A = this chain, B = another copy of it.
Amino acid sequence: MTPVLATAEIIAVGSELLGWTRVDTNSLFIAERLASLGIQLRGKSVVGDDAARMRMFFDAAFSRSDLVVLTGGLGPTADDLTREVVAEALGLPLIEDETITAGIRERFARRAMRMPELNRRQAMVPRTATVLPNPHGTAPGLFISDPAATGKCVVLLPGPPRELQPMFDALCQGGALDERAGAERLHTVSIFTTQRSESHVDEAAQPVYRPWLVEQPPIETTILATPGQIELHLTMRSADAAAASRRLDSARAQLIAALGDAVFSTDGRSLPAVVGDLLRQRSLTVASAESCTGGLFLERLTDLPGSSDFVAGGVVAYSNALKTDLLGVRAELIAAHGAVSEPVAAAMADGIRARTQAQVNVAITGIAGPGGGTGAKPVGTVVIAVLLEGHPLAIRTYLFPGGRQQVRLQASQTALDVIRRLLR
Q: Point out residues on A near B: beta carbons under 8 Å.
A: 16, 18-25, 27-29, 31-32, 35, 41-48, 50, 53, 56-57, 60, 64, 222, 224, 226, 285, 288, 290, 292-299, 301-303, 305-308, 311-319, 321-322, 325-326, 355-356, 369-372, 404-405, 408
Contacts and interface: CB of A to CB of B under 8 A. Distances in A.
A194 to B, nearest CB: 17
A295 B314 contact: yes
A340 B25 CA distance: 37
Contact of A301 (B41, B294, B356): B294
A316 B295 contact: yes
A172 to B, nearest CB: 13
Q: Within the oligomer, what is the number of copies of this chain?
A: 2
Name, among A57, A297, A408, the residue most crowded by chain B CB atoms within 10 Å (CB to CB). Answer: A57
Classify the interface of chain A: helix, strand, loop or mixed: mixed
A255 to B, nearest CB: 18
22 contacts: A18-B43, A19-B28, A19-B31, A20-B28, A20-B31, A21-B28, A22-B224, A23-B24, A23-B27, A44-B45, A285-B319, A290-B295, A293-B299, A294-B295, A294-B301, A295-B295, A305-B370, A312-B322, A313-B322, A315-B315, A316-B316, A322-B355
A408 B305 contact: no
Given A20-B29, A60-B60, A313-B316, A322 B45 contact: no
A313 B303 contact: no
B312 A371 contact: no
B31 A18 contact: yes
Nearest to A25: B23
Nearest to A299: B295
A408 B296 contact: no
Contacts of A46: 43-45
B224 A21 contact: yes
Contacts of A372: 308
Name, among A16, A24, A313, A372, the residue most crowded by chain B CB atoms within 10 Å (CB to CB). Answer: A313
